[in-house]
């Protein structure tokens, strides 16, 4: 097994993002988070998302020049339009803004529409907890889950995050609403393995442990 | 079937509460809410809880002279000690206080320890929604549910309430975490009926539709 240092990996990813047109600071932040996520063992949302992110930038699905714009302010609650900017930097902005509001009001709530994939949701829980704030974070996804007992997919497997700061470190829950996150299906499929427990239904409506294509 | 007017029922319940020693205003508020709940068809948390509430007052489990005391204030977030006061008036106090905080800060969060049964949780969602505020409310209960796949009861069937004001009226979700609320088991048992679907396990660990005693 070849070992690669954190900095070598981060710099490689950063260069890929610079090549895709991201500004220096954006590329640095995004490379840091993709690399940290893989180092934490969350392979589903780290390095293996780099190529897809670059693809989405090239297709114009992510606007690397967009910045979040505040569209509503209700004291401790603010709503932003993410203008389809980079999911990671948009979500970090929202987290920082929520922390600022919490400093001022005790609680801060930030909603953001029109943003793109934030990669690992737990990232934003840790960011808040590292500053001493408890956080609840979530986002919507495509409709990829059936409602209970249904056959067609009408619900998102919307990730849900809860983070609580401890004296040392933090306690962070980061979960999908589905049996497995999309990324976990991909990781299992890439390994050529079966899921440890059935994760959904096949076309005949039977439970299956096959990590189907997304 | 004998029909009884709202006021006759409310005054009867109020008199029972006055007899139990409640002050005029407490008795009036509690009688109003027990009666409204039964009129809304939620028999599990209305009139059939009156006798038990009076019993708890007589046993000293509910302290009718207690008032909520603020023990922590963090701007939009406040924590109270309910001093084992009347669940309904404690929960109404917390709701009103959360609305006041929301008026000031955009969001208001109120936690209360040492309180007693709040009867129908939805009551407090409606109270907030009638004033134009969205609300999320919950409370803990005794450990009466098994964790998934377990045999012993370690989790509460903690009721959960979400309320959203509409142009006319409100949309209110009021649910237990269990298949059936305790009160629903009681109502079904009192009718001598079976549950429409299995609601838990018997002593042999088999699913059962028997509304067992609480």
Question: Rounded to the nearest 10 degrees, how much is the dihedral formed by the CA atoms of A122, A125, A131, A134?
Answer: -150
Q: How far apart are the C-alpha atoms of B179 and B186, rounded to whole Å?
A: 14
pLDDT score recorded for residue A12: 97
Q: Are residue B78 and residue B44 in the same domain, yes or no? A: no
Query: What SS3 class is residue B60?
Result: coil
- The residue of chain A with its CA nearest to that of B109 is A107
Q: Are residue B85 and residue B164 in the same domain, yes or no? A: yes
Helices A24-39, A6-19: axis angle to 10 degrees equals: 140
ipTM for the complex?
Answer: 0.71
Interface test with A, best of B105, B109, B136 (most A CBs within 10 A): B105
Asked if B79 has any chain A CB less than 8 Å from its own CB, the reply is no
Q: Are residue A88 and residue A140 in the same domain, yes or no? A: yes
Contacts of A75 in chain B (CB under 8 A): 104-107
Q: Are residue B208 and residue B121 in the same domain, yes or no? A: no
Q: How far apart are the C-alpha atoms of B47 and B29, rounded to whole Å?
A: 14
Q: Write the CATH number for B110.
A: 3.30.1370.60
Question: Rounded to the nearest 10 degrees, how much is the dihedral formed by the CA atoms of B33, B19, B57, B2?
Answer: -50
Q: How far apart are the C-alpha atoms of A14 and A29, rounded to whole Å?
A: 9
Contacts of B77 in chain A (CB under 8 A): 106-107
- The residue of chain A with its CA nearest to that of B107 is A76
Contacts 24+ apart (CB under 8 A), A133-142: A133/A98, A133/A99, A133/A102, A133/A165, A134/A162, A134/A163, A134/A164, A134/A165, A135/A95, A135/A98, A135/A161, A135/A162, A135/A163, A136/A160, A136/A161, A136/A162, A136/A163, A137/A91, A137/A95, A137/A161, A137/A163, A139/A91, A139/A115, A141/A182
The number of distinct structural domains making up chain B is 3
**Residue A38 belongs to some domain of the structure:** yes
Contacts of B109 in chain A (CB under 8 A): 106-107
Extract the tokens encoding A3.
């070992």
Q: Which among B34, B214, B197 is positioned nearest to B120, based on CA atoms?
A: B34
Contact at 8 Å (CB) between A116 and A94? no
Dmax (CA) for chain A in angstroms is 54
Q: Are residue A165 and residue A108 in the same domain, yes or no? A: yes
Q: Are residue A45 and residue A85 in the same domain, yes or no? A: no
pLDDT score recorded for residue B201: 82
Alpha carbon separation from B47 to A214, B16, B44 (Å, rounded): 53, 11, 8
Q: Which domain holds residue A42?
A: 6-59
Q: Write the CATH number for A186.
A: 3.30.60.50
Q: Are residue B161 and residue B112 in the same domain, yes or no? A: yes
Q: How far is C-alpha A151 from the geometric centre of its chain's CA atoms?
A: 27
pLDDT score recorded for residue B185: 87
Cβ of B106 and A106 within 8 Å? no
Q: What are the residue ranges in chain B where pLDDT is below 50?
A: 214
Cβ of B104 and A77 within 8 Å? no
**Residue A64 belongs to some domain of the structure:** no
pTM of the entire structure? Answer: 0.80
Rounded to the nearest angstrom, the minimum Cα separation between A51 and chain B is 39
**Residue B196 belongs to some domain of the structure:** yes
pLDDT score recorded for residue B54: 97
Q: Are residue B92 and residue B130 in the same domain, yes or no? A: yes
Sheet with B109-113, edge to edge strand ranges: B69-74, B77-81, B109-113
Asked if B179 has any chain A CB less than 8 Å from its own CB, the reply is no
Extract the tokens encoding B118.
């709040």
Cβ of B75 and A104 within 8 Å? yes
Cβ of B75 and A109 within 8 Å? no
Asked if A76 has any chain B CB less than 8 Å from its own CB, the reply is yes
Interface test with B, best of A72, A74, A75, A76 (most B CBs within 10 A): A76
**Residue A41 belongs to some domain of the structure:** yes
Cβ of A107 and B105 within 8 Å? yes
Q: Are residue B11 and residue B108 in the same domain, yes or no? A: no
**Residue B209 belongs to some domain of the structure:** yes
Asked if A179 has any chain B CB less than 8 Å from its own CB, the reply is no
**Residue B64 belongs to some domain of the structure:** no
Q: Are residue A25 and residue A73 in the same domain, yes or no? A: no
Q: Are residue A149 and residue A125 in the same domain, yes or no? A: yes
**Residue B1 belongs to some domain of the structure:** no
Phi, psi of B184 (to 5 degrees): -70, -40
pLDDT score recorded for residue B104: 95
pLDDT score recorded for residue A212: 80
pLDDT score recorded for residue A105: 95
Asked if B166 has any chain A CB less than 8 Å from its own CB, the reply is no
Contacts of A79 in chain B (CB under 8 A): none
Q: What are the residue ranges in chain A where pLDDT is below 50?
A: 214
Q: Write the CATH number for B24.
A: 1.10.1530.10
Q: Are residue A97 and residue A127 in the same domain, yes or no? A: yes
**Residue A1 belongs to some domain of the structure:** no
Asked if B109 has any chain A CB less than 8 Å from its own CB, the reply is yes
Asked if A144 has any chain B CB less than 8 Å from its own CB, the reply is no
Asked if A74 has any chain B CB less than 8 Å from its own CB, the reply is yes
């Amino acid at each position: 097994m070849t070992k690669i240092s954190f900095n070598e990996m981060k710099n490689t990813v950063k260069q890929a993002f610079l090549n895709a047109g991201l500004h220096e600071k954006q590329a640095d932040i995004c490379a840091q988070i993709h690399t940290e996520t893989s180092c934490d063992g969350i392979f589903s949302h780290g390095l293996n998302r780099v190529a897809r992110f670059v693809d989405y930038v090239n297709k114009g699905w992510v606007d690397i020049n967009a910045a979040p714009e505040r569209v509503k302010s209700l004291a401790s609650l603010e709503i932003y339009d993410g203008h389809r900017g980079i999911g990671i930097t948009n979500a970090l902005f929202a987290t920082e803004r929520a922390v600022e509001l919490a400093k001022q009001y005790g609680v801060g709530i930030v909603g953001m529409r029109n943003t793109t994939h934030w990669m690992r949701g737990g990232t934003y829980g840790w960011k808040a907890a590292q500053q001493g704030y408890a956080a609840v974070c979530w986002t919507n996804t495509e409709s990829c889950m059936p409602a209970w007992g249904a056959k067609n997919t009408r619900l998102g497997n919307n990730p849900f995050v809860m983070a609580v700061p401890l004296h040392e470190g933090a306690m962070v829950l980061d979960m999908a609403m589905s049996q497995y996150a999309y990324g976990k299906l991909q990781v299992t499929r890439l390994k050529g393995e079966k899921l440890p427990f059935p994760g959904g239904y096949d076309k005949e409506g039977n439970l299956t442990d096959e990590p189907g294509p997304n």
